[in-house]
Amino acid sequence: QSVLTQPPSVSGAPGQRVTMSCTGSSSNTGSYDVHWYQQLPGTAPKLLIYGDRNRPSGVPARFSGSKSGTSASLAITGLQAEDEAYYYCQSYDSSLSGWVFGGGTKLTVL
Amino acid sequence: EVHLVESGGGLVQPGGSLRLSCAASGFTFSSYEMNWVRQAPGKGLDWVSHISTSGVTRSYADSVKGRFTISRDNAKNFLYLQMNSLRAEDTAVYYCARGFGNFAYWGQGILVTVSS
């Protein structure tokens, strides 16, 4: 049972827009930055969004992040086949004094 | 280019010990906080431990507290994870990751299997 709650799966057709959520509490997402990672099959995670809404250099503008209260969202526009992957959110938790991840969302491109 | 390369994984019996290493290159290692994150087979990501730049401040997930010890050698550009009293549930791919807050760079991971 992950501290941060993500939907197990989302799907969309090529070219469409999809969103996925990450819900926490006041001790984590409500007080600290949320970061998002993309994990392609058989590879290490890659930082996709940091500080709720910022993209590292090299990450396409099709990926965007937002946060309101204790919930964060990742949006992907212009869906491409290569976007099929697992997506994880992450934040700091003051109650646990450590970093926590969501359980991950599997994105399927139809 | 930032490079993180883990080593030291393998098969170990329950109750045994293992030391993981992470060789860092392409950046000033002593200037960055470091972490270990693991991923059990078919499961999600699980933060394990963090160490400050100097090595003075260390933190651990409750699941490994008292059994795992994180350390670093800034002169040699190495991060370590000493794992004792290993359990079946510690079986996972272990990643070293650079950063405090967000983990901007990750190694390729090393598999640790705890089984008799």
The C-alpha angle with vertex B8 and arms to B71 and B25, in degrees rounded to 5, equals 60
pLDDT grade for B55, boundaries at 50, 70 and 90:
very high
Predicted pLDDT at A1 = 83
Chain A residue numbers with beta carbons less than 8 Å from the beta carbon of B51 are none
DSSP string, B27-95: S-GGGS-EEEEEE-TT--EEEEEEE-SSS--EEE-TTTTTTEEEEEETTTTEEEEEE-S--GGG-EEEE
Average pLDDT of the residues in A55-68: 97
Report the sign of the C-alpha dihedral through residues B34, B47, B4, A32, in that order.
Answer: negative
Residue type, B86: L
Work out the minimum CA distance from A76 to partner chain B, whole angstroms: 20
Predicted pLDDT at A88 = 98
Strand partners, B79: B22, B72
Predicted pLDDT at A96 = 95
- How far is CA B41 from its chain centroid? 16
Count the neighbouring beta carbons within 10 Å of the beta carbon of residue B110. Answer: 22
Average pLDDT value for chain A: 97
Cβ separation B101–A47 shorter than 8 A: no
Chain A residue numbers with beta carbons less than 8 Å from the beta carbon of B107 are 44
CA–CA separation, B48 and B28 (whole Å): 23
| A62-76 tens-digit pLDDT | 999 999 999 999 999
